[in-house]
Structures are given as C-alpha cells and as structure tokens.
C-alpha cells in the first residue's frame, strides 16, 4: 500500500487520511488468522544469531530531539539580538566526555561521564515522508515500516516478545512506560504502533503511563478477596466469548486475548509484582533518578529488567508542541529537557553496571528525527515549514533554538548489550546542511543491529494472510557489525 501526501494540504486533512488507513489496517489485523513463521525459501529455518543482550531498554525522546543540541554539537553561537537564524547550528556549547576527543552538549554532564560505556551513532537517517507527521515517523521508527500498511505492523518490543519470548514467564515481555494514549493529541496514531499488530494481544505492551502508579496496575483493587478475584476473572472470560465484537475477531486473536488475560492473572498473583513498586527503593536511590515522570520511569525500567522483563520502553512522552517537539523557545525547552534526562539516564547506566546487568542489557537513546534552524525535512524536501516563529534574525529568546524537523542526520546512543565502549560511528557535516556524510545508518539497518544483538535475525519473517512480513522491511536490514564489541 502506498500513502501519497499532498504537502500543500492542511494538516487536519493529512491526519484524517492517515487515520483512515490506520483504522483499516487495524481492523484487518483483528480478522486475520494465525501468523506462520517463514523459513528461508521454505526449505530451512532462518539461522538466528548468537545474542549479545538478554534485555533491551529503549529511552524514547518523542518529538524530535535535536542532535546539534545534544549528542552532535556543531559551531556554537550564544543568544544575541540580531543573530541570523542561518548562523545557528548549536545553541549549547560542547563539553568533554569520558572519551578522549569526544564532546557532547553542555547540560548533559552526567551522560558525558558515562560515554566511555557507550557507542554513539551520529549518522542515523530517516526518509523524507513527504509531510512531517510525528506519528508517521514514530510509527516508522518503532515498527520499521512506513505507515500505513495493509496489516498492522508490530512494535519492536512485540517482535521480541513473539520471537524470543519472555525471560521470566511471569513478567510481561513488553512494557511501555510514560506515554499516555488518551487525551494528549495524536492519540489514535500513537496507539497504532504501540501494539503487537498482527501478532495478537498476548504480545502487546503492558502500558504504564505513570510509573509511580505502576504497583496499582499489578494488584487487585483494594478490598478484593482472593475468591472474588478468581470469580471475576472467570466472568471476564465468559463476557469476552459472548462479546458482540466476537464475530469481528478471528479465533486466533480471540484466543490471544484470553492468553494475555491469563498472563496478567498470573502476574497479579506473583512475587514479581513487587518489581513494579518503586517506593520499595531507598529514598536516596529514588532521588538520584530525579523528580520527573521520565526519571521514575528509568528507575522502574531498571527494576523490571532485574526481575526478567525482556523489552522496556521509557519515554519523555510525546505530546504535540511539548518536550522535544520544539517549534518555538527551542533553547529554553532544550535546557529543561537536558535537566530532565541527564540524571536518570546516568544513574540507570551506573545502576545496571553495578548490578552486573549492563553487559547483557542493551540501552538505546533515540528519537524520530533531529532538528535544524532552517531546513524542514532535508534539502529538497517539499515538507511544509512548521516553525512557529518564522524570522531571519533573532530579536527575542523564543527565536533562539532549532525549530524545524530535520531527517538528514541524527544521533542514537547505545550502551551495553554487546556494543563497543567509547566508540563513535558515522559523521554529519560540520556546516549546514548537517547531513550524514559518513556511514549513514537507515532505520532498517539500525533495527537489524538491535535485533541481532537480541538474537533475532533481520530476515525473520511471518506469513500473515498470504503476505510475507519481516522484522526488517523486506528482510533487507543489515546489522552494523562495526558497532559490536
């Protein structure tokens, strides 16, 4: 399926058409049959690589984290009235890191101190999708497929849950922390990729929008007796089977939903549910992670991985025009975001290392694209300019920052999980346009690298309604072997 966009069309029309296609794919997924694992030429199974990681934590900077103001500093000019927007590349000065010769941006001093445990990719690239809808680019990043597709594409975490399964049979294999899916704008689009797609409900995420309330999600309601809880579970299963929506779901997806309920029931009856209670951590430990929802999410992610979670995503939360979605006041917002992510990411790496978990836990910092002061999309793009303050010279602080979406080159940081330490891969140009000029890494190849680390071949695929569907698009993703230790 192709999805053509008129770059001159109003945004509400683009979003309406996008949602129509997503809804059709979601409905088709519910009616589809059992996904069947493909074999190479239907003659022999795909050979799975030796895993270098057992768990994966994705730290998602939803909204477009500007690489020149985080992990790829360029020429810096401070705020000054009359400064030409065309002269803005980075709005923060560079600082040294624990790796000789490697610099990142001021405000990330904690992360700088642990960069000797990291591989830094500075040449990740995204395609020009014709119009910048954050949800489309986030869908593409999380699933590896440009939406919409004729089937609902599974999230990376769902692939891991389906192909290699849980590390601990009681713990959910796929957990999503920090993202509300209601009332935040573009909610339907966010729901479209935060799923198991055609794999079925049992491989979908346990969504925990508020980490401090995670413990409540794995305990029966107050006053609920054990026998009443058992009876309620039986009644719920009966109601599902008698649902008027039953005829719209295949037997496979009906059974998958019931299996997901069985797994949830086991978790609520297990000792592992204590992993969801961050109040069990000592106060001094909680303080090191900071007093933000993202910080509490990082602490929760560490506890969940310790207890056997396979894939955990923690997000600063994507909400249009908030957080990393800087269409104005870019520098001021970035300063706040630096303060929000620096302590918890630093402490997460140190804690995993102290517990002997970092070597086998792949931690990834990523975003859907970067930002630039002038260019929307990439050079030659017909994407609509979405900056709120369209000026040539800076006269107010709100003009100072990188307010346009840029897909030509961005940064991804990877810790642990078999990756090299203190290693930099790829390069973007020193002057605008800040395109990836050495070793560009596509989303397909980035996913192939992540999956290879987790012991999943990029060629792994399933037959869904007579169509082959692979973990990387058309099975063409190639792991970047230079990144592995």
- pLDDT tens, residue by residue, 419-439: 999 999 999 999 999 999 999
Spell 442-462 as b/e; 16+ CB within 10 A means b. bbbbbbbbbbbbbbbbbbbbb
Q: What confidence score (pLDDT) does residue 129 get?
A: 80
Instruction: Taking residues 261-268, report their average pLDDT.
Output: 72
Mean pLDDT of 109-121: 98
Answer whether residue 265 shows pLDDT above 90. Answer: no
pLDDT of residue 219: 80
Does 290 have pLDDT greater than 70? yes
Q: What pLDDT score does 162 carry?
A: 94
Q: What is residue 152's predicted lDDT score, i.e. its pLDDT?
A: 87
207-216 per-position pLDDT tens digit: 999 999 999 9
Instruction: Judge whether residue 25 has pLDDT over 60.
Output: no
Confidence of residue 20 (pLDDT cuts 50, 70, 90): low
| CA angle at 346 for the pair 179 and 90, rounded to the nearest 5° | 80
- The pLDDT score that the predictor gives to residue 68 is 98
Q: How confident is the model at residue 229 (pLDDT cuts 50, 70, 90)?
A: low
What's the mean pLDDT in 51-78?
98
Span of 56-65, 295-304, 376-385 with lowest mean pLDDT: 376-385
Average pLDDT estimate for 74-89:
97
Cα distance between residue 192 and residue 181, in whole Å: 10
Per-residue pLDDT reduced to its tens digit, 116-166? 999 999 999 998 887 778 888 999 999 999 987 888 899 999 999 999 999
> Mean pLDDT throughout 164-175?
93
User: In the CATH hierarchy, which top-level class contains the domain 51-219+281-483?
Assistant: alpha beta
Distance, CA of 67 to CA of 126 (rounded, Å)? 13
Q: Which of 8-12, 108-112, 136-140 holds the top average pLDDT?
A: 108-112
Position with higher pLDDT, 293 vs 29: 293
Tokens of 251: 């037997």
Cβ burial, residue 174 (10 Å; 0-12/13-18/19+): buried
Res 139: pLDDT: 93
pLDDT of 3? 46
Is residue 440 predicted with pLDDT exceeding 90? yes
Across the range 75-98, mean pLDDT stands at: 98
Mean pLDDT of the region 306-322: 95
Note the pTM of the prediction, 2 decimals: 0.89
pLDDT of residue 185: 82
Domain ranges of the chain: 51-219+281-483
The percent of residues above 90 in pLDDT, for the chain, comes to: 67
> For the ranges 247-251, 283-287, 393-397, 406-410, which has the lowest average pLDDT?
247-251
Higher-confidence residue: 264 or 420? 420
**For range 98-102, the mean pLDDT:** 98
- pLDDT at site 382: 85
């Amino acid at each position: 399926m192709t999805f053509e966009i008129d770059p001159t069309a109003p945004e509400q029309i683009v979003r309406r058409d996008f949602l129509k296609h997503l809804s059709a794919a979601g409905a088709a997924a519910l009616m589809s049959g059992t996904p069947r694992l493909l074999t190479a030429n239907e003659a022999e199974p795909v050979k799975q690589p030796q895993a270098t990681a057992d768990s994966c934590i994705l730290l998602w900077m939803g909204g477009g984290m500007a690489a020149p103001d985080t992990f790829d500093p360029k020429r810096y000019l401070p705020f000054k009235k009359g400064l030409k927007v065309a002269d803005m590349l980075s709005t923060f000065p560079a600082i040294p890191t624990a790796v000789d010769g490697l610099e990142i941006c001021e405000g990330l001093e904690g992360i700088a101190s642990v960069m000797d445990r990291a591989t830094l990719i500075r040449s990740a690239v995204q395609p020009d999708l014709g119009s910048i809808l954050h949800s489309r680019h986030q869908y593409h990043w999380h699933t590896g497929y440009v939406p919409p597709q004729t089937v609902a594409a599974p999230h990376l975490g769902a692939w891991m849950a389906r192909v290699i399964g849980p590390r601990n049979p009681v713990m959910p294999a796929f957990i999503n922390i920090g993202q509300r899916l209601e009332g935040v704008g573009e909610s339907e689009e966010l729901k479209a990729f935060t799923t198991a797609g055609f794999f079925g409900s049992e491989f979908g995420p346990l969504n925990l929008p508020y980490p401090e309330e995670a413990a409540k999600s794995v305990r029966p309601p107050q006053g609920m007796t054990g026998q009443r809880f058992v009876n309620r579970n039986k009644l719920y299963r009966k109601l599902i089977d008698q649902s008027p929506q039953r005829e719209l779901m295949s037997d496979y997806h009906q059974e998958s939903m019931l299996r997901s309920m069985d797994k949830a029931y086991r978790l609520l009856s297990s000792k592992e549910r204590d992993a969801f209670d961050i109040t069990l951590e000592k106060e001094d430990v909680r303080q090191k992670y900071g007093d933000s929802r993202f910080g509490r999410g990082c602490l929760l992610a560490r506890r969940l991985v310790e207890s056997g979670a396979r894939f955990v995503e923690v997000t600063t939360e994507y909400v249009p025009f908030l957080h990393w979605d800087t269409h104005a006041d870019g520098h001021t917002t970035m300063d706040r975001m630096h303060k929000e992510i620096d302590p918890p990411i630093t402490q997460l790496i140190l804690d995993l290392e102290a517990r002997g978990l970092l070597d086998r836990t792949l931690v990834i910092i990523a975003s859907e694209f970067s930002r630039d002061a002038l260019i929307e999309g990439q050079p030659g793009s017909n994407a609509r300019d979405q900056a709120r303050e369209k000026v040539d010279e800076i006269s107010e602080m709100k003009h100072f920052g990188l307010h346009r979406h840029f897909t030509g080159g961005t940064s991804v940081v990877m810790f642990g999980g078999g990756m090299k330490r203190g290693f930099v891969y790829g390069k973007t140009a020193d002057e605008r346009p800040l395109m990836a000029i050495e070793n560009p890494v596509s989303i397909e190849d980035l996913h192939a690298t992540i999956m290879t680390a987790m012991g999943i071949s990029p060629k792994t695929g399933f037959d869904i309604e007579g169509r082959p569907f692979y973990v990387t698009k058309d099975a063409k993703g190639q792991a970047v072997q230079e990144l592995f230790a």
